[in-house]
Amino acid sequence: MKYNSIVIKVASLLISLHLVGCTTMERTIDLWPKDNIPNQKETNIEEVHEQRDILRISKVQKPTLEVFLPEKAKANGKAVLIFPGGGYGILAYDWEGTDVAQFLADRGLAGIVVKYRLPSDETQTDKHNVPLIDAQRAIKMVRSRAGEWGINKNEIGIIGFSAGGHLASTLGTKYNNSVYEPIDEIDKESARPDFMVLMYPVITMGQETHLGSRNNLLGKEPSEKMIQEYSSQFHINSETPPTYLVHAMDDEVVPVANSEYFHTMFNVKATAKSELYLFEKGGHGFGLAQDNPILRKWPINLIDWINSL
């Protein structure tokens, strides 16, 4: 009797260990090999995490993915890479990152937060290209691990907030631009998102821009050529993926004209569909807006839109 009890306990332990091995995974993944991060200078500068009302991350030196996978019973094979905002000076990492990833995972989509490098002359060469370099690598990496994570390679989208929306729109219109030298098999994957979501995004680098984002990305006196090159509405074409935009009309940080420019040009040049949702009130940076009975509708509507594609 005692022998049988021991056998049962050992068997239970082995089963438990097997289940743990099958269900756990490395949640945070480096985007690049340690000694091969494109455009990165060797410095002693360290990443900064500041927890106030939200978690603010700055001086990113080692870009990563933080992966939130849905329960297998809920998983629908779709994934969304998330680019938090912060004016290209910080990342609103939980408010516009991990909170969003968990919301998506709870509804069957993989949510993957991209901790991308913020432009810095001190730590980078050609700083204006660095966020796009990390964004291209991020979506290629997700495609390279799609089978492992239960993701359909053809159902991988992106969402960006504020300056993260500028990065998402840049990726969505410049996914084919060669901004770094391929380093491994991952870089053979496509960087084209299958859909994109732009939340109160910075789009133009012209008159209606968010000046802080432009200064951080392009410097205080960018040439007209640079302004045109990094104004996403000018780079929409017939292959630009379906796009969903959300903006509040009373946004005093990033004018609603940014979303309107993109939506208008999309309808002229693209063949996919674009939807623009404007809220009369909401200001800037409302995230999931779970405490606002009107604004909180946008993420639910977004899930319906993604599932309709």
Over the stretch 190-218, which tens digit does the pLDDT of each residue have? 999 999 999 999 999 999 999 999 999 99
The CATH class, in words, for 28-308 is alpha beta
Supply 118's token pair. Answer: 């913020």
What pLDDT is attached to residue 25?
A: 63
Residue 69, Cα to own-chain centre: how many angstroms?
15
Q: SS3 for 246?
A: strand
What pLDDT is attached to residue 26?
A: 72
Partnered with residue 110 across adjacent β-strands are 79
Each domain of the chain, given as residue ranges in start order, spans 28-308
pLDDT in tens, the chain (309 residues): 443 444 444 344 444 333 333 334 679 999 999 899 999 999 999 999 999 999 999 999 999 999 999 999 999 999 999 999 999 999 999 999 999 999 999 999 999 999 999 999 999 999 999 999 999 999 999 999 999 999 999 999 999 999 999 999 999 999 999 999 999 999 999 999 999 999 999 999 999 999 999 999 999 999 999 999 999 999 999 999 999 999 999 999 999 999 999 999 999 999 999 999 999 999 999 999 999 999 999 999 999 999 999
Q: How many CA atoms lie within 13 A of 123 on its CB side?
A: 17
Q: At 242, which amino acid appears?
A: P
Residue 95 CA: distances (Å) to CA of 83, 107, 161, 183: 11, 18, 10, 33
**By C-alpha distance, which of 32, 62, 28 is closest to 45?**
62
Q: What is the DSSP letter of 36?
A: -
What pLDDT is attached to residue 149?
A: 98
Q: How far apart are CA 98 and CA 159, in angstroms?
A: 12
